[in-house]
Homo-oligomer: A and B are copies of this chain.
Amino acid sequence: MDIGEIARRAGVSRSTVSYALSGKRAVSESTRRRIEKVIAEAGYRPNAAARALKEGRTRTLGLVIPPASQRLTDMQLDFVASVVEAAAQIDLDVLLSPSGGDHDRSFERLVTGRRVDGVIVMEIRLEDARVERLRQTALPFVGIGRTADPDSMSWIDVDYGNLITRCVDHLADLGHTHIALINRSEELVASGYGPGHRALAGFLEAVERRNLTGVDVCCADDRVAGEARFDELRARHPEVTAIATINEAALPGIERALARHGMTVPRDFSITGVVAQHWAEYFRPPLTAADVPAHEIGARAVELLQEQIATPGTPPRHILLAPPIALRSSTGPAPRMTRHDG
């Protein structure tokens, strides 16, 4: 069922059907109705490939996600969901590309096969080969996260450094002197994952400025690791009375370990950080934390991309989110008995 068949049945030419459909030229009321009737009866819909070929755009955008081998965190899932939803709102489809490494086939297909009008890249590294590749091809793209050289591309990011700094300040204000940072996984940080680096930098800055003792530990993005890392932390650094974290996937494990150690939050231990809202709210007691607005991030990323696509050459735009730290119930004064100083 192609446009020629519709034209024949309606007794007009193919171009008239096209114009009736797009409205780019006037078509008389009567023929338009006739054409619409035929289309409805035949259940016709234009072939996406043919249209993409002629128009030079696919009405599709690419979403580069971390490889499926490593489980996606809840927050990453939220990004994906919100991007897909926001794209659907403006009638764009989303093509998924699970690729982290340098030369990924699906990534290359996406980028050089002109399968998409633009790309959203998740989990950006400070030095990111994919960003370089996209820059070469002049394909519009936006990052969820930013590279070490952020000015030349559009991105949206959460200000992990600043937020973790403020978390540490908050804990210091409460009298905590020995504070731990629970970071994302070691591999991720080692490979130059921005939030990990910036959170660490913010942590170290605050620890130094407030004259605290800080210990930073990496932790894989899952509950089991969270539990194990917390046990290790207790064993090696019993003087630590509070943690700040950007690793929400580790939270349930931490919660369990706390219970196992017979510790009550916030009486015996304080915990805060930067995590997705529903994790903060699910924690017992609810977490004092900066809520990452994952849903908003996905939606704004699509906006940014759509802008780049619609008007190429637009200077890149940046959105740096620093959501407020929601004061809930997981932080309190440092316990006296575990203090090592006066």
Contacts and interface: CB of A to CB of B under 8 A. Distances in A.
Interface stretch (A5-13, A102-110, A200-208): A102-110
Chain A interface size range: 35 or more
A282 B224 contact: yes
B49 A53 contact: yes
A153 interface: no
Interface string A199-225: 000000000000000000000000110
A112 B45 contact: yes
A77 B72 CA distance: 8
Contacts of A106: 88, 91, 93
A63 to B, nearest CB: 8
A324 interface: no
Interface in A148-188: none
23 contacts: A43-B112, A45-B108, A45-B109, A45-B112, A45-B113, A48-B109, A49-B114, A53-B53, A60-B95, A67-B85, A68-B81, A69-B85, A72-B77, A72-B81, A77-B77, A84-B96, A84-B98, A88-B105, A91-B105, A93-B95, A93-B110, A94-B95, A224-B282
